[in-house]
Amino acid sequence: MATIHLKAKLVAAITVLTFVSAPPALSADQPSESPVECVRRTVQRELAADNGETKAIFVDRKETPHGSQTKLIVETCEGMAGMLIAVNGRQLTPQERQAEDARLSGLASNADQLRKKQKTEKEDVDHTTRIMKALPDAFLYEPDGTTAANQQVGKPGDQLIRLKFRPNPKYSPPSHVEQVLTGMQGYLLIDAAQHRIAKIDGTLTKEVGFGWGILGRLNRGGNFLVEQAEVLPGRWEVTHMSLTFTGKELLFKNLNIKSDEVFSDFRSAPSNLNFAQGVELLKRQEAELAENRQRP
């Protein structure tokens, strides 16, 4: 459980987010915001984003020291459904495909397992909210120029404000969830027109305990990077996430987190899917992909 909570702390700065009407872009005639005001308003926009009836289906490719896995993911009213479609770039064998279909069908028909999955997803959302709310107060911010958005970071055509951040010595984390922020510095890219976080890149500059050192510690040099972009009209999603951390879990177990995850090929999905319907949609999508692969 500690590993699940740790991952939530590190990646929760940005999650799957959807459309929220944007404030007008700042112009030369308008008074510019201070860096912390910009962060505070951006956090408000991120927290106000609501999935509502908007759903998506996309591809998730995750690489770790053990290899890579590619999944089709669809958002449903009962949580995220994911189907494994490739391992280390290799398509699944018929036997592996059958086992994956059976796993998903079993999950869809097992109310207890589905509730556990929903509980884990809710915990991640709760951690997201806590981390997001802490950003304006946990760090000191300094302007560091601007850059242009692109297909993977921000909204193409928009200007991104770059803000360097470092720990605020006056910040006292209210719980172990926010403790990791006390040793982190890096930079944010904020889409000036949309007031959305386009990128956050943070590195631990000192050893940091989580769970007040009882659950474990993270070593200096750990890094996380999350990029977000407008992938569909009015819809923002995470496009890239990279984690590299070492340390100790429960004081004696080595902790080694290293992963690089790319999210792509976003498409709209029906808004009223339950989990079982989402699984059936994934099966149809995979069958179409397999048919396309066989075409000359």
Entry pTM: 0.82
pLDDT at 13 over 60: no
pLDDT at 24: 34
Overall domain count for the chain? 1
Confidence of residue 211 (pLDDT cuts 50, 70, 90): low
pLDDT in tens, 45-59: 888 875 556 789 999
Main-chain dihedrals φ then ψ at residue 29, nearest 5 degrees:
-85, -15
Instruction: For residue 51, give its domain range.
Output: 2-294
Q: Which residue has the higher pLDDT, 257 or 201?
A: 201
pLDDT at 22: 31
pLDDT in tens, 243-286: 998 888 766 678 888 999 999 999 999 988 999 999 999 999 88
pLDDT at 178: 85
Q: Which of 187, 239, 173, 228 is nearest to 49 (CA)?
A: 228
Spatial distance between the Cα atoms of 92 and 293, rounded to a whole number of angstroms: 13
Q: Going by DSSP bridges, is the β-strand pair 208-210/216-218 parallel, antiparallel, or unpaired?
A: antiparallel
As given in the structure block, the two tokens for residue 227 are: 């990029």
Q: What's the half-sphere exposure (Cβ side, CA atoms, 13 Å) at 267?
A: 12
Query: Hunting for tokens 């992909």 — which residue is that?
Result: 289
pLDDT, average across residues 65-84:
94
Residues of the chain above pLDDT 90, percent:
57
pLDDT, average across residues 103-127:
90
pLDDT, average across residues 23-42:
66
pLDDT at 241: 94
pLDDT at 9 over 60: no
